[in-house]
A and B are shown apart, each in its own frame.
Chain A
Amino acid sequence: MDEFVVNAQNLTKVYKMGDVEVHALRGLSIQISKGEVVSIMGPSGSGKSTLMNIIGCLDKPTSGDYFLDGEKVSELNDDQLATIRNRKVGFVFQNFNLLPRASALANVELPLRYSHNGGKRHQRAKEALEAVGLGDRISHQPNELSGGQQQRVAIARALVNNPAIVMADEPTGNLDTKSGDEIMDLLLKLNQENSTTLIIVTHDPEVAELTQRVVSIRDGEVEN
């Protein structure tokens, strides 16, 4: 099964809200190969966010097995999960989530700070910013950058640690059409150059069209 970078089997997730149990995932299985570009779609309440959190190692399934890049994630504790996130997962958020008072460079360095092989931080962060076309903006703060530029900083941050997968949650959701297209072009270009596995969670059919495979989620299960 090693050819799959993401390999989840029979995932269930149950939230307890008072006396009511909410089944967000009902035995969902998903495999994603290395270098693949996949979009995950589904209406709100479908379990899409829960799946994204589990694949991104932010949350653990109630039951089921999840292997990320060959490591069994579903049984790790919180600190081990943090280390996995640091080494193997890059996040791109809808609202960028940059540290407001830190420079672009410092923002990109953030994952390296929590990394044990964090040598040459400046150098690596600078290269990542150059790769997204922001080599001349490294000392700018987020409020001095446009939305598209901010998202590029976030992408540089997601890539700086050479992760196994990049999770992008509505990466174009807060951008105008033109910037959105540029961001999608950049993500796909980086996928081609570095064969980084790219998982995009989106509502937008136009974004989903650009990916190699679309996985639709409904009521906690994969829809065929």
Chain B
Amino acid sequence: MSWQAILEAFESLSTNKMRSGLTMLGIIIGVAAVIAVLALGAGASDSILGEIEAIGSNLLFVTQTTSSEVRNPKPITLEDAEAIADPFAAPSVLAVAPSLQGSAEVTYLNENKNTTLLGVTPDYERVRSARLSEGLFFDSTQLSGNASVVILGYQIAEDLFGRSDGLVGETVRIEGQPFRVIGVLEEKGGSSFNSEDEQILVPLTTAQARLIQRQNPDQVDLIYVQAISAESMVTVEEEIASILRARHRTPIGLDDFTIFTQQAILDVASTVTGVLTIFLGGIAAISLLVGGIGIMNIMLVSVVERTKEIGLRKAMGARKIDILAQFLIESSLLSFVGGCVGIVLGWAISFVVGQIAAGSNMALNPVVDLNSVMLATLFSAAVGLFFGLYPANRAASLEPVEALRAE
């Protein structure tokens, strides 16, 4: 295969620009779709996994089982959290942060907002790696004293005050009760679910006593448990389970509580995003296949149209392999050029979608990785070769006498 042969194939394709362009369009759309879908999938996966990791490190989550198979489930309580925090019963536990979640209306002057209210303990700061842009987190005195203090999420501060600094000491009303602002959380940025910027934090005891009503006044919704290291996660899970089984008096296998590890959630999330990406990528790949069939179709037409030329070339001494190569180069060139344009287009699409996502404050950053580009290039060239093979072979097998006689 020489430069001359490629040049000649290029000339032959450019004599019918409209047809070559339309044929390539099938490959362009297919490759662009594959590239864009893979890039968006990778971006979505990154942002979801990033969000889960941002919750904290080496975390386990303890909640009450909601399954109907467990009879008379006991709620998780503050005492349970304290038992898990016992360094003798659970030596691998670093910190424990029970929390209670509800919704509340926050008011400042004429501004009011419905928000997610979290009742938490001072350990929440460490376990969730919460960062304050100003002020301080609750201390144990404020917790034990049912203090009327609140830490505002960034977006709540912006909505109520129109600013997020210099707010310490201001007073807001939560469900009509006055609370003193002691801190503002740092902006976390866009989040697809339950943004932390839209939350307010109050001491757990305050929430239990005055803001969130539950059947059992000691009840908490969720206990965050931080393990001392990534390796001790399994040990911690066992320690928590044995403590809670003893306290709730449940036989093995019918726990009325559930423990998730952060890793398990990560695994589920990455499996889900992976399956979704493969599924969408597969659909996109079908359009690439359709594009390949388009190439085959047009090459078959081209062989019929150029029967006489093929006959002439054979009379001039072209062997089977020469004619085969000529047509294969043409079909591969179609799919290769289409593939290159498709890569650029797919890249552009993912870039534009990324910009739109950034504009609407969504954490989606499409990642075009080199592997998917290589895969798309190879695949499109292979499509050209595969779908060019049949027409090219047909051309190469023409009898010279018959071909020369064609009009």
Contact = CB atoms under 8 A, between A and B. Distances in A.
Contact of B319 (A58, A82, A101): A82
A115 B318 CA distance: 9
Contact of A111 (B12, B316, B319): B316
Contact of A97 (B4, B312, B321, B322): B312
Interface in B386-400: 400
A85 B317 contact: yes
Interface in A92-112: 93, 97, 99, 101, 110-111
Given A97-B308, A101-B11, A86 B317 contact: yes
A104 B318 CA distance: 19
Nearest to A79: B319
**Size bracket, chain B contacts:** 20 to 34
A146 interface: no
Contacts of B315: 56, 58, 85, 91
A111 B317 CA distance: 6
B173 interface: no
With most chain B CB atoms within 10 A of its CB, the pick from A83, A87, A114 is: A114
With most chain A CB atoms within 10 A of its CB, the pick from B309, B314, B315 is: B315
Contacts of A91: 315-316
A82 B310 CA distance: 13
A110 B316 contact: yes
Given A58-B404, A101-B11, A114 B316 contact: yes
Interface string A157-175: 1000000000000000000
A53 B404 CA distance: 11
Interface in A38-94: 53, 56, 58-59, 78-79, 82-83, 85-87, 91, 93
Interface residues of A, number: 22
Interface in B10-56: 11-12, 15
B13 to A, nearest CB: 12
Given A78-B320, A87-B317, A91-B315, A99 B309 contact: yes
A58 B317 contact: no
A113 interface: yes
B128 interface: no
Nearest to B403: A58
B312 A101 contact: no
Given A59-B401, A114-B322, A85 B312 contact: no
A111 B314 CA distance: 10
Interface string B216-255: 0000000000000000000000000000000000000000
Contacts of B401: 53, 58-59
A82 B11 contact: no
B15 A83 contact: no
With most chain A CB atoms within 10 A of its CB, the pick from B308, B312, B320 is: B312
Given A59-B401, A101-B11, A82 B312 contact: no
A82 B309 contact: no
Nearest to B5: A113
Contacts of A59: 400-401
B318 A82 contact: yes
A114 B312 contact: no
Contact of A99 (B312, B314, B317, B400): B312
Contacts of B4: 113
With most chain B CB atoms within 10 A of its CB, the pick from A83, A110, A115 is: A110
Interface in B317-334: 317-322
A125 B4 CA distance: 16
A79 B317 contact: no
Contacts of A79: 319-321
Nearest to A158: B316
Contact of A110 (B11, B313, B320, B400): B313
Contacts of A93: 404
A68 to B, nearest CB: 14
A96 to B, nearest CB: 10
Contact of A85 (B12, B308, B309, B316): B316
A52 B314 CA distance: 16
Interface of B: 4, 11-12, 15, 308-309, 312-322, 400-401, 404
Given A58-B315, A110-B316, 7 more contacts: A58-B400, A59-B400, A83-B319, A86-B316, A87-B317, A97-B404, A101-B11
Which 7 pairs show the lowest CB-CB distances between chains A and B? A86-B317, A114-B317, A82-B319, A79-B319, A111-B316, A58-B400, A114-B318
21 contacts: A53-B401, A59-B400, A79-B320, A79-B321, A83-B319, A85-B314, A85-B315, A86-B317, A91-B315, A93-B404, A97-B308, A97-B404, A99-B309, A99-B312, A101-B11, A101-B12, A110-B312, A110-B316, A111-B317, A114-B318, A114-B322
